[in-house]
């Protein structure tokens, strides 16, 4: 992430950010020490992990829990903690 920083003529005035939601380009996944991992067989797709995720990092497709957004998941472990069937394990990240 060593982009050239823009000069004063190149940025919108007044500190305004006109590219909505561009924080997705910022990789908070690198903060993680533990990675959530799902046991597909056990998951009941209750989506509690999704509704409690502070980082919007639970993917949902066709009403089903469809995995993690590892680009942004900080590995807090809330999903594992709230899962009623304990289908999410927190695995130590290998460096």
Partner 1 sequence: MANIKELAKQPEGLSGGHRLCAGCGASIVVRQVLMGTKDPVVVGSATGCLEVATTIYPYTAWKIPFIHNAFENVAATISGVETAYRALKKKGKIKKDIKFVAFGGDGGTYDIGLQSLSGALERGHNFVYVCYDNGAYMNTGIQRSSATPKGASTTTTPAGEASYGKVQLRKDLTSIVAAHHIPYVAQASASHWNDLITKAEKAFKVDGPAFLNVISMCHRGWRFPQQDTIKISKLAVETGFWPLIEIENGMWKFNYKPKERKPVVEFLKPQGRFKHLFKEENRHILDEIQKDIDNNWARLEHFCEAGCKVT
Partner 2 sequence: MTKKIPLTGDQAVAYAMKQIDPDVVAAYPITPQTAIVMSFSNYVANGQVSTEIIAVESEHSAMSACVGAAAAGARTMTATSANGLALMWEIVYIAASTRLPIVMPVVNRALSGPINIHCDHSDTMGARDSGWIQIYCENAQEVYENTILAVRVAEHKKILLPVMVCQDGFITSHGVEGVEVFEDKKVKDFIGEYKPDSPLLDIDNPSTYGPLDLQDYYFEHKRQEAEAMRSALDAIPEILKEFEKQFGTKYDFIETYKLDDAEIVIVVLSSTAGTVKFVVDELRQRGIKAGLLRPRIFRPFPKEKIINALKKAKAVAILDRSDSFSAEGGPLYTEIKAALYDLDIKPIMVNYIYGLGGRDIFPADINKVFEDLQKTVAAKFTLPKVNYLGSRE
CB of 83 to partner 2, least distance (A): 33
Contact in structure between 47 and 65 (CB atoms under 8 Å) = yes
Interface residue with partner 1, options 4, 9, 25, 41 (CB under 8 A)? 25
In the 8-state DSSP scheme, what is residue 6?
A: P
Interface residue with partner 2, options 4, 15, 40, 41 (CB under 8 A)? 15
Planar angle of CA 12, 15, 20, nearest 5 degrees: 75
Distance between terminal CA atoms of the chain?
A: 19
- Interface residues with partner 1 (CB under 8 A) are 11, 15, 17, 19-28, 31-32, 46-48, 50-57, 60, 63, 69, 71-78, 80-82, 90
């Amino acid at each position: 992430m060593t982009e050239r920083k823009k000069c004063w003529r190149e940025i919108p005035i007044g500190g305004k950010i006109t590219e909505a939601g561009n924080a997705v380009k910022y990789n908070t996944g690198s903060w993680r020490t533990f990675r959530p991992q799902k046991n597909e067989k056990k998951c009941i797709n209750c989506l509690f992990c999704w509704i409690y995720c502070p980082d919007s990092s639970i993917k949902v497709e066709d009403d089903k829990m469809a995995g993690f957004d590892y680009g942004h998941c900080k590995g807090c472990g809330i999903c594992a903690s709230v899962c009623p069937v304990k289908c999410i394990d927190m695995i130590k990240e290998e460096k």
